[in-house]
Every structure is written in structure tokens, then in C-alpha cells.
Amino acid sequence: MSQIPLIVAGLDGSPSSMAAAADAARDFAATEADQRQVPLIIAHVYWPGPWERFAGNDVDAQAAAEQEAQQILADTAATVRASHPHVDVQSRPIRSLKPEHSMVDASRDVALTVVGCRGHGGFAGLLLGSVSGALVHHAHGPVAVIHAGKH
């Protein structure tokens, strides 16, 4: 049995990300972690906004973004623990201007990377978002892209 953790990502804080596809991805990843008896890492890629704020010119904006990321992770971890009490749930905030690059990097040394199909930006009619598309093409291991109601 593999001891390599799973990562579930796609939590960018947007209403669409926190809705159906992300919920389906979170549940899929938690079920996989439970069945494989490995830890589940919930990753949340966040950015505090415009480049000037990210670059360090607005400490308050950075602190607020970090606090929001920690709250999203805590809420998501609590939800997973309630529905999958045997899963070791861990959290990882990832501060980045390039979420797709950060998630490709996060796909190293894991058994499976799981994301929802859509995130914060882009066009609603597209099949994949920028992060899920980047992962499908550049991840360092298997990727599951979960669409709402399709798992």
C-alpha cells in the first residue's frame, strides 16, 4: 500500500471553486485517501491581488489574504474530517501569482492530484480551467479532474 499522500487542490476561494466542482473533487480525493489509507493534503493557492500588493507593498493585504486562505483550509478540512473521520487531513496554503505553476510543482511526489474542473477565472463554457489544464499537460503524476456530479 502506498504511503504517498494525495493532494486535493482547486480551492481558490471563488464562488465557483468552492461550489460543486471543488466539492466533488474534495469528496473524490477524501474517498481515495480513505481507500488507500494515506494522508490527504488540501492545498489552497491564493494571491492577495494586484502585483503591487503581492510584491510586498501592502502588508495588510498580504496578512488578510493569508488569514482568508487559512480559514478556507480550516473550513474545508473540518468538512472532510466530518465526512471521512479516518482520513489524516493536512492543509497547505500556497501563495502564488501563478496557481497553475504552483499546482504542477505540488504534483511532485504524490500518488494523485485531484482538482475541480473550473476555478476563479476564465470562461464558464470551457471544459477545463487554467490550473486543471496545466495539470493535465504538465503534472508529475496522475491527475483526476472532477466535474460536478460526474464522479
Phi, psi of 45, rounded to the nearest 5 degrees: -90, 125
Percent of the chain's residues with pLDDT above 70 = 71
- Alpha-carbon distance 65 to 62, whole Å? 5
How much is the pLDDT for 50? 56
How much is the pLDDT for 11? 66
How much is the pLDDT for 66? 85
How much is the pLDDT for 38? 93
User: Reduced to 3 states, what is the DSSP secondary structure of residue 28?
Assistant: helix
pLDDT digits 0-9 by tens, 125-151: 444 567 777 888 888 889 888 876 544
Phi, psi of 39, rounded to the nearest 5 degrees: -65, 155
How much is the pLDDT for 36? 92
Low-confidence ranges of the chain (pLDDT < 50): 1, 52, 120-127, 150-151
Q: Give whole-number Cα distances, 135 to 58, 68, 123, 141, in Å.
A: 31, 25, 18, 9
- Tell me the whole-structure pTM to 2 decimals: 0.79
Helix H or strand E segment including 92: strand 89-95
Query: How is the chain split into domains, by residue range?
Result: 6-146
Q: Give whole-number Cα distances, 106 to 10, 85, 100, 111, in Å.
A: 12, 25, 10, 11
User: Reduced to 3 states, what is the DSSP secondary structure of residue 7?
Assistant: strand
6-146 belongs to which CATH class?
alpha beta
How much is the pLDDT for 1? 46
